[in-house]
Amino acid sequence: MRKAAAWRRVLREALPEPPARVLDVGAGTGALALLAAELGHRVTALDLSEGMLAVAKRKAAQRGLELDFVVGRAAEPPPGPFDAVMERHVLWTLPEPERALAAWRSVCAPGGRLVLLEGSWGGDGPLERARELAAEAVRRLRRVPHDHHAPYPEEVLAALPLARRSSPRPMLEAVRRAGWRAVRIKRLRDVEWAQLQQEPRLLSLLEHRPRYAIVADA
């Protein structure tokens, strides 16, 4: 509940006033899409996984919410137009992030908004590597599964331009190069705090990373 409340607050501040047409890219099982719909937005949930969207559909039905669901790639959004395009922890996983950012801008209405909910996941050097190994050892010992997926293989990470960045600066630069304007960033400390409360204390501290909302205008 703490985590959902923190994300609800983020969406209320970052998205346009409801009712807005919102595209949630990489919606998965619908966590943020459903929160946005509860806030009064008209939401389209886009994801490559038909199975994940099926789960999101069931959740929406249980809550009495109406959303549109589209199976497709992040860089190939439905035509819209949308008043806002949002994503959470998706952009850094794309091999061509600027192409995706430009595609999202192309389906935004005049005055549309981009909302990236990302973090600084990486770092370099032996200390960072030691922290990663320690966190993985704690997960195995405590039998705590990863939230979404197992760690990416090294060869996959090497092909992702925004992976393992210790600063949001490369993401901000990619947003600007893709043609978005008035780019601003806010640290999501409430979300970070809620995440710390969700897992064993030692694991939370080892895996703690800064989270940000990056907002820009079309």
What integer is the mean pLDDT of 179-192?
A: 96
- Domain range enclosing 70: 2-217
For 122-164, the pLDDT digits (tens) are 655 555 555 565 556 556 766 666 655 556 667 777 788 998 7
Predicted local distance difference test score (pLDDT) of residue 166: 80
Q: Tell me the whole-structure pTM to 2 decimals.
A: 0.86
For 83-133, the pLDDT digits (tens) are 999 999 999 999 999 999 999 999 999 999 999 999 976 655 555 555 565
Predicted local distance difference test score (pLDDT) of residue 202: 58
Q: What is the CATH number of the domain that holds 39?
A: 3.40.50.150
End-to-end CA distance of the chain: 33
Predicted local distance difference test score (pLDDT) of residue 134: 54
Rounded Cα distance between 37 and 23, Å, is 11
As a residue count, the chain comes to 218
Strands 21-25 and 82-88, bridge-based pairing: parallel
Predicted local distance difference test score (pLDDT) of residue 120: 78
Percent of the chain at pLDDT above 90? Answer: 67
The CA distances from residue 176 to 62, 78, 79, 101, 216, in Å, are: 39, 22, 22, 9, 9
Predicted local distance difference test score (pLDDT) of residue 209: 79
CA angle, residues 184, 185, 186, in degrees to nearest 5: 135
Predicted local distance difference test score (pLDDT) of residue 132: 61
What integer is the mean pLDDT of 180-209?
A: 81
The mean pLDDT of the chain is 88
As for how many domains the chain has, the answer is 1
CB atoms within 10 A of CB 141: 11
DSSP track, 62-89: HHT---EEEE--TTS-----EEEEEEES
Predicted local distance difference test score (pLDDT) of residue 149: 53
What integer is the mean pLDDT of 211-215?
A: 97
